[in-house]
Amino acid sequence: MLKLKGKKYEDAWILKVNKYKKLYRKEYAELERRIKRKIPKTVITKLNNFMSKNHTPMATRKSSQIVMTEFGKSMPELIGGSADLKGSNLSYYDDMDSFSHSNPSGKYIYYGVREFGMSAISNGIFLHGASRPFASTFLIFSEYAKNAIRMSALMKLPIIYIFTHDSIGLGEDGPTHQAVEQLSSLRLVPGLDVWRPADTQETAAAWREAILSQERPIAFALSRQTLKEIPKTKRQISNISRGGYVVYGDSSDPDAIIIATGSEVSISVSAAEQLKIKGINIRVISMPCQEVYERQTLAYKNKCIPKNFDNILAIESGIGDSWHKFVGKKGAMISMESFGLSGTGGDVMNHFGFSVSNIKKNINKLIKKNR
């Protein structure tokens, strides 16, 4: 009886869909595209073109907004919002209408201070189908959303999590808001890709990978402070999508290798440039996403970080636990092993050793130790 009843409803639905398909061919084709999760070609084209351009220095939270503005209107299924931090997260594009009872076609959702609810709802939106949801808040508040983020990964739902104010570099808000352990914590979640881009081009690459993802949720860790745009060749830009790549250093036999993410990449490059004047050749690896890098071929990874190479220094303004596998027993790290401090972003970063002078000091010390 239940089987017959179900078939009756299914037949009625198929009849309705076929009628809709006949009357509204264009709308049906768009609905089918969204249900099948096919990305509009124009979106990827716009992102690729955007990545090839040079950009002015800016915070990566702003980079993310500019990237969204570049492709957002070409991807109508993109929907999401912020947990009461729209003006800080910048997780919207120009002219993005707000979702409400009176405007159900709006794409931006005001969630209020409901980080877990926002993330759980994002899972539900994706499971309903035909939409690509994103959720945003400060990185420190990812703690409140963790159970829902874990479910995104467990259920293989490609939710896009936009976390801003990514480190002690945010400054005056103090240690309560300065994310320290959150990056390592998120990297522990199986099936979650965590991207901490160093500039606008890397942010665009992170967005492209997030949109192309079919079953892995993506978490962005974006800066509040302005970051320099790092010069790159076409090959380097292409290699961003590998999760890690050589961003500086042309020597095939470097004296040391620096691995860095986010705001620490540009200061690592500056340190390497100064060390080169002294005759010390440094290779700098920008590794915006450890998870994606780990999925690359062994041959590619050996080109970046040769096997049995000793002088490796990892630099990240967060707890350094996730970097031990890269630096090995003879390498070293400049990382956080405590909470942050109140003060300007620059002063706090310098206090904890994220400076050109301290990087140079640690490189020299590492080379001398392993000589």
Contacts of 64 (CB under 8 A, 6+ apart): 90, 91, 162, 164, 203, 207, 220, 222
Q: Do 202 and 240 form a contact (C-beta atoms < 8 A)? A: yes
Q: Has 115 been annotated as catalytic?
A: yes
Taking residue 228's Cβ as centre, other Cβ atoms within 10 Å add up to 16
List 30, 32, 115, 143, catalytic entry: 115
Which ranges in the chain belong to alpha helices (H)?
Answer: 2-23, 25-35, 41-51, 60-71, 86-89, 115-128, 142-154, 182-187, 200-212, 234-239, 263-277, 290-294, 298-304, 324-327, 345-351, 356-369
CA gap 134, 162 in Å, rounded? 7
Q: How far, in Å, CA of 165 to CA of 88, rounded?
A: 9
Q: Which two tokens stand for residue 257?
A: 């290798």
Distance CA 51, CA 333 (A): 30
Q: Cβ-count burial of 352 within 10 angstroms (0-12 exposed, 13-18 middle, 19+ buried)?
A: buried
- Give CA–CA dist 286/245, Å, rounded: 6
CA-angle at 204, arms to 173 and 291, nearest 5°: 80
- The 8-class DSSP code of residue 38 comes to P
Phi, psi for residue 304 in degrees, rounded to 5: -80, -55
Which residues are catalytically annotated? 115
